[in-house]
Amino acid sequence: MRALLCALVLLTVAPAALSQYPSKPLRMLVGFPPGGANDIVARIAAQKLSETLGQPVVVENRPGNAGVVAAEALSRATPDGYTLMLGSTGTNAIAPALTSKLPYDAFNAFSPVGLVGIAPSALVVHAAVPANSVRELVALAKSKPGKLTYASSGNGTTLHLGGELFKLMAGVDIVHIPYKGNAQALNDVVGGQVDLILSALPPALPLAKAGKVRILGVAMPERLRSMPDTPTVAEQGLPGYEMSTWYGLFAPAGTPAEAVERVGADLRRAVADAKVREQIAAQGIEPVSNTPAEFRAFVNAELEKWARVVKAAGVKGD
């Protein structure tokens, strides 16, 4: 029925109308309150897209259920190119694996437009943990199964699943300690109540410089240009390990390809803009862009990846 409705809508969109796209303001849904990373990234992208598209792009916050409220609204929106959503790892890749009763099909309800950026994570340990590399940490964990602890920003969050992925790939038994947010979790690693954490990188950097924690590796495919001397987790014995939070733009499934390609092209130009890159980087996010086809392949791979991790780790959604 959804496919039939989309087809009927597309039949009403005349080629002339598409050639004039966009002819009215667009809205960009955000599944979180104002002030958070999703909201900030959305507003940076919306401001630049407003300039390049020649129409206002209005950010509309639809918080609730870890982004699911906004995603459901997008799935039900008219696929005419005038409704977009700033999605992310948690909402568009992890939530579908944790929740069997989502009000939309995560694989088929959306038309991916393009990436905006990727926020790197880092494997961080308390200063007293006797490990100076990922290999040493894995060896320590194997010598003390069930004794080491790792903190996360909460059950089912991106960082929780990243920790479970680390355990699976390293073959270690480390106890999960969930918190209500990354700041509280990282604070207890600093205090020594918990041994380690897979943390967002920006808040961990000043603590590492002060000697309160140690960063053993970044959870990215390649070393960061800003931290060339810090190895990746992958190159320290866990090839393929990656844990980051990505942000990208989506449209409803069935949105005309011409509209998706137009917004996608303007989004890539926006992310290439020096000022925009500076604004995104200030949030601890690496500016990254790709084509709609590349982003679709990326999202599908993420959905499959986190479904495997959730199943193997036996993680249950709250």
Is 8 inside a domain boundary? yes
**How would residue 18 be classed by pLDDT, with cut points 50, 70 and 90?**
low
What residue has token string 């603590």? Answer: 207
Q: How far apart are CA 184 and CA 152, in angstroms?
A: 9
What pLDDT, in 10s, does the model give residues 154-178?
888 888 999 999 999 999 999 999 9
Res 194: pLDDT: 98
115 bridge partner residues: 248
Task: Please indicate, yes or no, whether residues 192 and 213 belong to a single structural domain of this protein.
Answer: yes
pLDDT tens for each residue of 269-293: 999 999 999 999 999 899 999 999 9
Residue 1 has pLDDT above 60, yes or no: no
Asked whether the predicted pLDDT for residue 19 surpasses 70, the reply is no
Same domain, 70 and 40: yes
For residue 192, is it left (φ>0), alpha (ψ between -120 and 50) or beta?
Answer: left
What CATH number does the domain containing 195 carry? 3.40.190.10
pLDDT of residue 60: 98
Of 287, 212, 216, 218, the C-alpha closest to 248 is 287
Determine, yes or no, domain membership for 149: yes
Residue 94 lies in a domain: yes
Task: Tell me phi and psi for residue 109, to 5 degrees.
Answer: -85, -10
What's the mean pLDDT in 59-81?
95
Q: Are 137 and 125 in contact (CB under 8 A)?
A: yes
pLDDT-derived band at 181 (thresholds 50, 70, 90) equals confident
Query: What number is the average pLDDT over the span 27-46?
Result: 95
Of 236, 252, 274, the one marking the end of a domain is 236
User: CA of 291: how far to CAs of 56, 203, 263, in Å?
Assistant: 22, 31, 10
Whether 318 shows a pLDDT value over 90: the answer reads: no
Of 184, 210, 236, at which residue does a domain stop? 236
- Distance, CA of 4 to CA of 2 (rounded, Å): 5
Residue 146 in domain: yes
**Confidence band, pLDDT 50/70/90 cuts, at residue 180:** confident
Burial 178-208 (b: 16+ CB within 10 A, else e): bbeebeebbbbbbeeebbbbbbbbeebbebb
Residue 185's pLDDT band (boundaries 50, 70, 90)? Answer: very high
The predicted structure's pLDDT at residue 14:
46
182-187: average pLDDT = 92
The boundaries of the domain holding residue 112 are: 2-117+244-313
**Are residue 108 and residue 195 in the same domain, yes or no?**
no
HSE value, Cβ hemisphere, 13 Å, CA-based, for 217: 25
Say if 135 falls within a structural domain. Answer: yes
CA–CA separation, 108 vs 38, rounded Å?
22
At 36, is the secondary structure helix, strand, or coil? coil
- Cα–chain center distance at 183: 18
* Contact call for residues 118 and 88 (beta carbons, < 8 A): no
Q: Which of 28, 50, 57 is nearest to 247 (CA)?
A: 28
52 and 188 co-located in one domain: no
Averaged pLDDT, 61-69: 92
| pLDDT of 130 above 90 | yes
Give the CATH number for residue 48: 3.40.190.150
CA distance to 93, 110, 206, 299, per residue, from 104 (Å) = 13, 9, 41, 15
Note whether 185 and 248 are same-domain residues.
no
3-class DSSP assignment, residue 267: helix
**Whose CA is closest to 135, among 126, 145, 147, 123?**
123
Residues 23 and 79 in one domain: yes
**Number of separate domains in the chain:** 2
- Say yes or no to pLDDT of 85 above 90: yes
Confidence of residue 196 (pLDDT cuts 50, 70, 90): very high
Do 252 and 109 lie in a common domain? yes
- State whether 229 and 125 are in the same domain: yes
Clarify whether residues 129 and 195 are in a common domain.
Answer: yes
Whether residue 66 is found in the same domain as residue 158: no
Do 22 and 164 belong together in one domain? Answer: no
CA distances from 307 to 53, 211, 281 (A): 36, 37, 29
Those residues with Cβ within 8 angstroms of residue 173's Cβ, 6 or more apart along the chain or in another chain: 141, 145, 146, 167
Q: Does 16 score more than 50 pLDDT? A: no
Domain boundary among 185, 219, 236: 236
Query: Quick one: tokens of 10?
Result: 């597309």
Mean pLDDT for the stretch of residues 68-91 = 96
Instruction: Return the DSSP state at 232.
Output: B
Task: Supply the DSSP symbol for 231.
Answer: P
Residue of 7 and 101 predicted with greater confidence = 101
pLDDT of residue 66: 85
pLDDT confidence band for 137 (50 / 70 / 90): very high
Higher-pLDDT residue of 161, 14: 161
Shared domain for 113 and 130, answered yes or no, is no
Give the amino acid at 316: K
What's residue 237's pLDDT? 96
Residue 318 in any domain: the answer is: no
What lies within 8 Å, CB to CB, of 79 at 6+ separation is 6, 9, 10, 111, 251, 252, 253, 254, 255, 256
User: Which pair of tokens denotes residue 81?
Assistant: 């190119």
